[in-house]
Structure 1
Amino acid sequence: MGDALARQCLLACARAGGASLAALYRIDHQARPADFQLLGLATPMHQSYLERYQGSDPLHPRHCQNLAIDLVPLRLGQAAQAAGSRERYAGFLARHGICDVVEIFARQAGQAVLGLSLLRREAEGAFSAGELERLQGLQAMLALALPRLATHSASVGLTALTPRERELAELLRAGHGNKRLAQLLGIGLPTVKTHLINLYRKVGVANRTELVTALFL
């Protein structure tokens, strides 16, 4: 996703939606989010989401793909969740001071290809029914922006990685564990984990198996 254009779109959507926190992302053919553009979201929170809470997110594209609507409030997503997952994700949001979330999707040929998360802090309050109704206009704006964003988009492959990232990807392909990666790269284990998180996020995958599949298969 073209960074400058996506950033402009993200800022405009966040302002129009009355949210100080937001994320814009591409959705791949397996309904996985990738190429995140973040506004106001701290990196540790986002990394924690990717590592531990993505699977329990009721507004994850995979969970919303069968819905017939393109604007999904948090409470609607939660209504379809099992109690354990709902409580787990609600706890994650509460720890970071988030009281409400709305997910907006833009589609091509019926398939969601772009997602926008609007998050409200506790001080900002939850989205009202009137605000949710007005956000339908924002969904239309996102759909209009989609062709231009798609023009600047490309699936992340080896050529989009830095030399260090390509080196790490090749070592993962060879099946090395984290300790061996640290030895071969001459870095500490915490640094290896940070590199992996950043690489997963860049490629739009959740683990090393998905990474190797996306880059090499």
Structure 2
Amino acid sequence: MNAIPAQEVAGHCLQAFTQLVHVSQAAFYCVDRQLQARDFRLHGMSGEMHRDYLDNYRQFDPLQPSNCASSGLNVVPLSFAMARQPQRDNHRYQDFLLRYGVVDVVEILAHRAGQPQAAISLLRTAEQGAFTLDQLSQLNALQSLLQLAVANIQPNEDPLIDLTPRERQIALLLRQGASNKQLAQELNVGLPTIKTHLINLFRKTHASSRTELVGILFL
């Protein structure tokens, strides 16, 4: 079977899942080897909400891929995931949900070689109510179709595939010759944070200098 671009797979999967179970927002995303979500395709979710999540709340999300991977489930309800992480993190994530009127979330995962390859996140408002047991059962049944669709995603040749969104930003700015001070100003973070990101970038790429790092990622 021919490989299919990820965005095409994402569109079909989101259409199928959101027609089966009524939701307020949904997102399809791929999962890299560091178990980071990337290449999001949004459904009914504003760019503002998505940016707020990525910049301020992603680290507190009990349904992020690394947590879901250790759950042993293909369909992971929010209540199950929240029981597996510290309450202080749950409170921060609930602040995000409350801000956007979301009362329940469920994650549906597709795996390859035992690791999450892609997932769909479904969100519901108070008007729609929490996901019922019947709906979770329906999503479990549909997960095999997601698994089949994801198996045929076209390989991503993006050289930044294994980087987090913030590391991607830094790598692109480094290609433009940005200094540490310019990086800190552009990303509105302190110099120690920039140095930590650079250390992680050097570790992931096995580069020993900024010039070598840019060469590995872009040349």
Q: Which runs of 4+ in 1 moved over 6 A?
A: none
Per the normalisation by structure 1, the TM-score is: 0.75
Query: Equivalents in 2 of 1:48, 1:155: separation in Å?
Result: 28
Once the two structures are TM-superposed, the CA of residue 209 in structure 1 deviates from its matched residue by: 6.2
Task: Give unmatched runs, 5+ long, in structure 2.
Answer: 161-169, 189-196, 206-213
Q: Residue 157 in 1 paired to residue 150 in 2?
A: no
The 1:4/1:52 distance shift into structure 2, 3 A limit, reads same
Give the structure 2 partner of residue 202 of structure 1.
none
Match of 1:131 among 125, 135, 152: 135
SS at 1:99 equivalent = strand
The 1:97/1:176 distance shift into structure 2, 3 A limit, reads same
Give the structure 2 partner of residue 180 of structure 1.
182
Once the two structures are TM-superposed, the CA of residue 34 in structure 1 deviates from its matched residue by: 0.7
Q: Residue 109 in 1 paired to residue 113 in 2?
A: yes
Q: How does 1:40-189 map to 2 (within 5 A)?
A: 40-148=44-152, 150=153, 152-157=154-159, 168-171=173-176, 174=177, 176-177=179-180, 180=182
CA RMSD of aligned residues (A): 2.8
| AA at the equivalent of 1:61 | P
Q: What do residues 108-137 of structure 1 show as CA deviations (whole Å, max 9, x unaligned)? A: 121111111011112111101111111111
Contact preservation (8 Å) 1:25, 1:114: yes
Query: Equivalents in 2 of 1:33, 1:15: separation in Å?
Result: 24
Q: What do residues 83-128 of structure 1 show as CA deviations (whole Å, max 9, x unaligned)? A: 1101110111011011100001101121111111011112111101
Once the two structures are TM-superposed, the CA of residue 138 in structure 1 deviates from its matched residue by: 1.8
Contact preservation (8 Å) 2:104, 2:129: yes
Query: Equivalents in 2 of 1:9, 1:123: separation in Å?
Result: 24
How many residue pairs get matched?
187
Q: Report which of the two has the higher share of helix.
A: 1
Give the structure 2 partner of residue 198 of structure 1.
none
Per the normalisation by structure 2, the TM-score is: 0.75
Task: Give unmatched runs, 5+ long, in structure 1.
Answer: 159-164, 183-188, 195-206
| AA at the equivalent of 1:126 | A
Contact preservation (8 Å) 1:100, 1:120: yes
